[in-house]
């Protein structure tokens, strides 16, 4: 279907800032075909009147666990290790596949309603988040969480790898889904698994998604066991020889930052989760200075407890100003890039921008909402979105040229 979006205000990416333009948007199939002037041989099947709307690129949640949504609030205000090993893991093991599916539906609906059009998921129940994503029409990258040892009897690392490839076979023809291999973390993966996963990723052209250096204890224990930090250990095992997304990276050394930059690893920062679990603040200004592609995630609802990227953007921009005592540290424009362009780069997607050839993953924000007023020629649009918006302004969401939320109601619910 070809669509013209008329009368809206487009958020466009410039070299170091964002600006708005009152221009028509032309969509052919699942991609943006033109801005302003109508493309040749373009015939519209549908016209959308976007009067009073700010149209932005869909937000990309670069690290989450949507099956955890039903665990929201079950282990709050406890230390990280207690949260993980006593609060979350036992309840994960008791969950059924149907519960994981229903949990994913709830989480994805929350994301869509707050402007997320793509999520990078590390999951423990094959097919359930994929099933929910296909039904709701959201774009997703799925990675079965891998842990254990390749020599273990079932359940072990080999079984989980087989499950990951089974999911790819079952959902590989879905146009909105892509896949990654997702070793959970160095403290849950044996050395043989850490080495085997990037080999498989290289063989099959897959990205890698892993937790690294989330807590101080994790780093200290890895140094005791392997004589190096989790990031150095992951590099030593070959995890960065393929395109990789490393979640968290809170407690890192200068050498860690150098490794991440040299190996072109994308860092998915999760400020709300990191603060709530008492793990601290990732050194985002230093990472940006080193040229690292920093993107943004919510983590799961068990540790956040929101799946709202507007909330995450606000935190990202504010905490580093306060932590560094520097009001120009991590600007609104840098933060908005993390949630859009940088996230698309991390996941290998032609998304994150309103530009010809890019995927038509778009969010329509109601400019009559008080949190976006005034919005005029004096308004910096990145500042308005990062410091003022909450996600409640989302009126409609389009993924791949199709509306999945319209007038705040789900199209595919």
pLDDT per position as a tens digit, 271-287: 999 999 999 999 999 99
pTM here is 0.97
Residue 78: predicted pLDDT: 92
Beta-bridged to residue 362, according to DSSP, are 57, 398
Nearest to 256 by CA among 283, 237, 280: 283
Per-position DSSP letters for 343-355, written without gaps between them: HHHHHT-S-SS-S
What is the band of 157 on the pLDDT scale with cuts at 50, 70, 90? Answer: confident
pLDDT per position as a tens digit, 217-248: 999 999 999 999 999 999 999 999 999 999 99
Which value, to the nearest 10 degrees, does the dihedral of the CA atoms of residues 33, 39, 42, 46 take? Answer: 60
- What residue ranges define each of the domains in the chain, with the CATH number in brackets? 2-58+353-410 (2.30.40.10), 59-347 (3.20.20.140)
Residue 156: predicted pLDDT: 76
> CA angle, 51 as apex, 46 and 52 as ends, to 5°?
145
What is the gyration radius of the CA atoms in the chain, in angstroms?
21
Judge whether residue 154 has pLDDT over 70.
no
Judge whether residue 412 has pLDDT over 80.
yes
Average pLDDT (169-175) is 97
Going from the C-alpha of 402 to that of each of 171, 237, 361, 406, the distances in angstroms are: 20, 41, 9, 10
Half-sphere exposure of 275 (CA within 13 A, CB side): 13
Mean pLDDT, rounded, of the chain: 96
Cβ atoms of 127 and 174 closer than 8 Å: no
φ, ψ at 83 (rounded to 5°): -60, -45
């Amino acid at each position: 279907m070809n669509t013209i979006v008329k009368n809206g205000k487009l958020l466009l990416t410039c070299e170091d800032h964002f600006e708005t333009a009152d221009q028509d948007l032309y969509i052919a199939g699942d991609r943006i075909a033109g801005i302003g002037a109508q493309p040749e041989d373009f015939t519209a099947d549908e016209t959308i009147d976007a009067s009073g709307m700010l149209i932005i690129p869909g937000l990309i949640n670069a690290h989450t666990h949507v099956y955890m949504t039903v665990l929201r609030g079950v282990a709050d205000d406890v230390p990280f290790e207690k949260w993980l090993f006593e609060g979350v893991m036992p309840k994960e093991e008791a969950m059924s596949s149907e519960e994981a599916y229903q949990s994913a539906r709830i989480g994805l609906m929350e994301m869509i309603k707050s402007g997320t059009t793509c999520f990078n998921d590390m999951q423990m129940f094959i097919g359930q988040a994929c099933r929910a994503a296909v039904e709701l029409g959201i774009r997703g990258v799925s990675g079965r969480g891998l842990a254990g040892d390749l020599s273990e009897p079932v359940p072990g690392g080999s079984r989980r790898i087989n499950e990951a490839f089974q999911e790819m076979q079952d959902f590989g023809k879905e146009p909105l889904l892509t896949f990654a291999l997702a070793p959970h973390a160095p403290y849950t993966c044996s050395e043989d698994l850490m080495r085997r996963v990037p080999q498989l990723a290289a063989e099959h052209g897959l990205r890698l998604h892993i937790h690294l250096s989330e807590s101080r204890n994790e780093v200290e224990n890895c140094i005791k066991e392997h004589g190096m930090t989790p990031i150095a250990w992951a590099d030593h095992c070959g995890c960065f020889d393929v395109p990789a997304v490393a979640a968290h990276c809170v407690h890192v050394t200068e050498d860690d930052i150098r490794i991440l930059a040299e190996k072109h690893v994308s860092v998915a920062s999760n400020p709300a989760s990191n603060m709530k679990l008492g793990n601290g603040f990732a050194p985002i200004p230093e990472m940006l200075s080193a040229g690292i592609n920093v993107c943004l995630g919510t983590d799961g609802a068990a540790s956040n407890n929101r799946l709202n990227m507007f909330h995450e953007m606000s935190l990202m921009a504010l905490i580093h100003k306060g932590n560094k005592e520097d009001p120009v540290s991590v600007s609104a424009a840098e933060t908005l890039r993390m949630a859009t362009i940088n996230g698309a780069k991390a996941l290998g997607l032609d998304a994150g921008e309103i530009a010809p050839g890019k995927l038509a993953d778009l969010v329509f924000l109601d400019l009559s909402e008080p949190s976006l007023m005034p919005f005029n020629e004096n308004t910096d649009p990145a500042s308005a979105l990062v410091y003022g918006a909450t996600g409640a302004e989302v009126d409609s969401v389009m993924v791949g040229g199709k509306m999945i939320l319209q007038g705040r109601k789900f199209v595919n619910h």
